[in-house]
């Protein structure tokens, strides 16, 4: 008799006990549990992998944008070129061209000269203009200035262009390549930290474009959003949780608040266009209107988070306060609200982080725009970081590719800081009962 027959015989003899059934299935259940754990682990690995790919591709593409190629020019502020009476409208591009001709005296012919001028950014003229306006005493002197190189030169220096392509139609021709080699032999061309990227507004020349304007617009917009959405959201949550009686109307409001949190953001943009722009006549492209629209979008998030925070305050605290004779308002202001505030702040920061990344509602109210001047007020035309990313991603110049990624890095850094602040706040002030 083999083993299987023995077991069968055993089974016939005694009635089946539960423990036997359990034991028989045990190995299978362990295997199932192991698989279940693996699925979970797999899900986490896949999401981490996606995150890693995202970060690697964005950082890999974006980090060169934090450097920019500069060319050193020995500029003689020639009074003959500048003229004397009106320095602000003097011929600064002409001055740059003359300086370049002096550096390469053997360049002859119209098209060669044009090619030579293309090495230096058009921003060089603006830079010289600002120097002269700041210090008119420079006229007649020779100064050594580092000016930004053209975006094509920058791309070449960063290795994005294939040198062999140039004759068959690359962006730079062989003569230009030779001049660049000559400059780098003399140490007059080098990559430096790109401060322009952080301080200046948008530009159509990649080497002059920066996120300064967009970042300032983002700050202004978020200030409006915060000033409006935090007090309104908290007040609404306190009323609904502490004062409102439970009836059909409050149920209806609750359902609507929850629904509103799930409304696609573009709808809020349309609402903003209809109400704030067309009815109230507020200006287009203004951070004020952007902030109002984003307030509508973040309000439900803040209300829901604040209500959850209020609900987590134990009833005993309310009863204790009322028991020693506090009024309802004192109970809320002195006891419940301070205890619920960390949770409310966390919800607010997460809501603001969502508002920070929004473009769709701003599309309708004219914030998707080319804006060079850095906004300083709530009604100045402005744009925001995600919109700036969108606009750059659509630009034909190759150098905008890395600037797009660099702007994404800055945006992600903002988001991480905000989310980290939310976590730290929660950890620091969290109370468990």
Residues that bind another protein (CB under 8 A): 88-89, 114, 118, 122, 126, 161-162, 165, 169-171, 203-205, 224, 227-228, 231, 280-286, 288-289, 333, 366, 368-373, 378-379, 381, 391, 393-398, 401
> E strands within 87-138?
none
DSSP state of 161: S
Residue 211 near residue 388, CB atoms below 8 Å? yes
| CA-closest candidate to residue 76, choices 122, 149, 147, 138 | 138
Evaluate the CA torsion angle 57, 59, 62, 67 in order and state its sign. Answer: negative
Residue 190 vs 219, nearer CB to another protein:
219
Residue 82 vs 401, nearer CB to another protein:
401
Walk across the sheet containing 67-76 and list its strands. Answer: 142-148, 67-76, 189-193
Q: How far is the CB of 333 from another protein (least distance, A)?
A: 7
Residues 227, 262: Cα–Cα separation, whole Å: 22
Name every residue whose Cβ is closer than 8 Å to that of residue 257 and which is 6 or more positions away in sequence: 236, 300, 303, 304
Residue 282 vs 415, nearer CB to another protein:
282
Q: How far is the CB of 102 from another protein (least distance, A)?
A: 22
Residue 418 near residue 385, CB atoms below 8 Å? no
Residue 348 near residue 229, CB atoms below 8 Å? yes
Residue 314 vs 377, nearer CB to another protein:
377
Q: How far is the CB of 346 from another protein (least distance, A)?
A: 20
Residues 413, 353: Cα–Cα separation, whole Å: 11
Q: How far is the CB of 395 from another protein (least distance, A)?
A: 7
Residue 70 vs 276, nearer CB to another protein:
276
Q: How far is the CB of 112 from another protein (least distance, A)?
A: 14
Q: Rounded to the nearest 5°, which phi and psi values hold at 74?
A: -95, 95
Residue 122 vs 184, nearer CB to another protein:
122
Q: How far is the CB of 24 from another protein (least distance, A)?
A: 54
């Amino acid at each position: 008799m083999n083993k299987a027959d023995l077991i069968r015989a055993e089974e016939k003899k005694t009635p089946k006990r539960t423990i036997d059934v359990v034991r028989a299935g045990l190995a299978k259940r362990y295997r199932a549990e192991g698989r279940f754990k693996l699925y979970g682990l797999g899900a986490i690995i896949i999401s981490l992998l996606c995150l890693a790919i995202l970060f690697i591709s964005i950082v890999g593409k974006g980090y060169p944008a934090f450097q920019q190629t500069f060319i050193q020019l020995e500029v003689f502020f020639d009074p003959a070129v500048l003229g004397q009476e009106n320095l602000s409208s003097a011929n600064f591009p002409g001055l740059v061209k003359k300086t370049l001709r002096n550096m390469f005296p053997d360049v002859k012919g119209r098209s060669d000269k044009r090619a030579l001028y293309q090495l230096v950014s058009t921003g060089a003229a603006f830079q010289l203009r600002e120097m002269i306006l700041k210090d008119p005493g420079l006229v007649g002197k020779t100064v050594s200035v580092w000016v930004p190189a053209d975006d094509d030169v920058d791309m070449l220096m960063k290795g994005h262009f294939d040198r062999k392509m140039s004759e068959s139609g690359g962006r730079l021709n062989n003569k230009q390549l030779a001049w660049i080699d000559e400059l780098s032999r003399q140490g007059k061309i080098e990559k430096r930290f790109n401060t322009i990227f952080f301080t200046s507004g948008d530009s159509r020349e990649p080497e002059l474009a920066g996120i300064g304007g967009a970042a300032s617009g983002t700050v202004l917009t978020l200030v409006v959003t915060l000033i409006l959405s935090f007090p309104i959201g908290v007040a609404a949550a306190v009323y609904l949780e502490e004062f409102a009686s439970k009836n059909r109307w409050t149920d209806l409001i609750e359902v609507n608040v929850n629904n509103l949190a799930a409304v696609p953001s573009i709808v809020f943009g349309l609402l903003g266009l209809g109400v704030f722009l067309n009815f109230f006549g507020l200006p287009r492209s203004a951070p004020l209107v952007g902030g109002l629209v984003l307030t509508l979008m973040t309000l439900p998030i803040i209300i829901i988070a604040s209500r959850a925070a209020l609900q987590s305050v134990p009833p005993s605290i309310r009863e204790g306060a009322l028991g020693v004779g506090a009024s309802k308002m004192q109970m809320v202001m002195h006891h419940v609200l301070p205890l619920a505030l960390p949770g409310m702040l966390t919800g607010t920061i997460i809501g603001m982080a969502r508002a920070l990344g929004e473009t769709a509602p701003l599309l309708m109210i004219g914030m998707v725009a080319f804006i060079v001047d850095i906004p300083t007020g709530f009604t100045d035309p402005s744009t925001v970081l995600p919109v700036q990313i969108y606009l750059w991603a659509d630009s034909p110049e190759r150098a905008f590719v890395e600037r797009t990624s660099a702007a994404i890095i800055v945006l992600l850094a903002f988001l991480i800081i905000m989310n980290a602040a939310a976590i730290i706040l929660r950890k620091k002030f969290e109370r468990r009962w």
